């Protein structure tokens, strides 16, 4: 079977749209921090990184032969090499160049968005590791139990301020649990029949809307409920994008956006670089705030696409010396 036949272009297309959504998030949170109202940043978080994790679960449900260890290695190596190259320009201590390989937080003075975006790598690796264990080695009823109990944990921890001080392989338990749960949710729901998918999607969207109103999320700074650990308001709004993904499942042909989604790992790395550059440039752009947002976002997208394509081509040419090719998760 050819790779084209193996791929689900709907998943690739949505993953590509997620890349553009992440670029928007980093545009409004970094270069837009000084001039945009808070509600714009809150809206941006409705379609954020959780969709990537959910789509990973969807992909596993379609391609049960995916090798997660290979995907973890590829993600780790791509970010390490990009980090190493950026290190040459940042003036940081060279003794810290090995930090990405240790799943440790990083700090590049000239590329703050790339540094901040790196949190995704250790959380993705640990979340995927545990999700694959549950999917491949535990009984189905245990997966269903986890799908039900994890939302309850976040609700209880919110209303009763129950402290979860545990760590999972050096990461905050409450952070990993949410993204691990999203992978399981994608795996469980994506292969449902179209009517069930639609009903689940509508339920999740309505839950997100009702929960957002109840929690009055637009009066909050939602970023504070995403980091350092996920809390209920961010959990609730994330169901909006997950629900939309399920509602709009359909046959899609290969397209420009799906090609970006197929190689999302490279564009996720590149947007960290481009967003850092736009962060430096934005202070020199003087115009109406909406015009400035439009200019910054377009410039960010164009720069990220160019850099992502360059990174992709370099790894396509030389990456096979490091990692065996298997792109189905990214």
pLDDT value at position 1?
41
H/E run at residue 313: helix 289-318
Give a yes or no: residue 326 inside a domain.
no
User: Got the DSSP string for 218-262?
Assistant: GGS-GGGGTSSS--HHHHHHHHHHHHHHHHT-------HHHHHHH
Evaluate whether 59 touches 328 at the Cβ level (below 8 Å): yes
Query: Based on the structure, what is the number of domains in the chain?
Result: 1
Give a yes or no: residue 218 inside a domain.
yes
- Can you give the residue range of the structural domain that contains 288? 3-321
Other Cβ atoms less than 10 A from the Cβ of 230: the count is: 23
Model confidence pTM above 0.85: yes
Give a yes or no: residue 169 inside a domain.
yes
Give the pLDDT of the chain (330 residues) as one tens digit per residue.
444 457 899 999 999 999 999 999 999 999 888 899 999 999 999 999 999 999 999 999 987 666 778 888 888 889 999 988 888 776 655 657 777 878 888 888 889 999 999 999 999 999 999 999 999 888 888 999 999 999 999 999 898 876 677 888 888 888 899 999 999 999 999 989 999 999 999 999 999 999 999 999 999 999 999 988 899 999 999 999 999 999 999 889 999 999 999 999 999 999 999 999 999 999 899 999 999 999 999 999 999 999 999 999 998 887 666 655 555 555
pLDDT value at position 4?
46
Select from 11, 34, 12, 23 the least CA-distant residue to 306: 23
Report the sign of the C-alpha dihedral through residues 16, 19, 24, 27, in that order: negative
Count of alpha carbons within 13 angstroms of residue 289, beta-carbon side: 9
Evaluate whether 14 touches 55 at the Cβ level (below 8 Å): yes
H/E run at residue 172: strand 171-172
Give a yes or no: residue 270 inside a domain.
yes
Evaluate whether 241 touches 58 at the Cβ level (below 8 Å): no
Give a yes or no: residue 71 inside a domain.
yes
Tell me the C-alpha distance between 80 and 301, whole Å: 23
CA 298 to centroid of chain Cα atoms: 20
Give a yes or no: residue 247 inside a domain.
yes
Tell me the C-alpha distance between 51 and 186, whole Å: 9
Give a yes or no: residue 317 inside a domain.
yes
Cis peptide before 64 (omega within 30 of 0): no
Give a yes or no: residue 9 inside a domain.
yes
pLDDT value at position 116?
92
């Amino acid at each position: 079977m050819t790779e084209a036949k193996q791929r689900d272009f709907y998943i690739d297309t949505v993953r590509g749209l997620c890349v553009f959504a992440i670029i928007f998030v980093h545009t409004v949170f970094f270069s837009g921090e000084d001039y945009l109202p808070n509600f714009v940043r809150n809206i941006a978080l409705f379609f954020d990184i959780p969709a990537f994790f959910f789509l990973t679960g969807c992909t596993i449900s379609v391609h049960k032969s995916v090798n997660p260890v290979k995907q973890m290695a590829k993600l780790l190596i791509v970010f390490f090499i990009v980090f190493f190259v950026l290190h040459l320009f940042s003036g940081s201590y060279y003794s810290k160049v090995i930090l990405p390989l240790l799943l440790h937080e990083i700090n590049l003075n000239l590329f703050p968005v790339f540094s901040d975006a790196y949190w995704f790598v250790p959380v993705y690796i640990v979340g995927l590791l545990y999700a694959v264990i549950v999917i491949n080695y535990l009984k189905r009823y245990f997966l269903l139990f986890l799908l039900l109990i994890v939302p309850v944990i976040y609700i209880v921890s919110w209303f009763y301020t129950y402290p979860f001080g545990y760590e999972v392989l050096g990461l905050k338990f409450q952070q990993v649990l949410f993204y691990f749960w999203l992978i399981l949710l994608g795996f469980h729901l994506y292969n449902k029949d179209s009517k069930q998918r639609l009903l689940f999607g509508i339920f999740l969207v309505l839950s997100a809307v009702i929960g957002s109103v109840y929690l009055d999320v637009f009066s909050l700074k939602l970023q504070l409920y995403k980091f350092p650990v996920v809390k209920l308001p961010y959990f609730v709004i994330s169901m909006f994008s997950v629900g939309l993904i399920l509602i709009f499942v359909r046959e899609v042909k290969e397209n420009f956006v799906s090609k970006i989604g197929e190689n999302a790992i490279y564009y996720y790395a590149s947007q960290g670089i481009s967003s850092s550059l736009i962060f430096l440039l934005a202070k020199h752009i003087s115009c109406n705030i909406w015009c400035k947002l439009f200019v910054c976002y377009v410039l960010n997208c164009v720069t990220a696409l160019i850099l992502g394509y360059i990174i992709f081509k370099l790894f396509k040419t030389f990456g096979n010396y490091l990692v065996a090719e298997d792109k189905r998760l990214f």
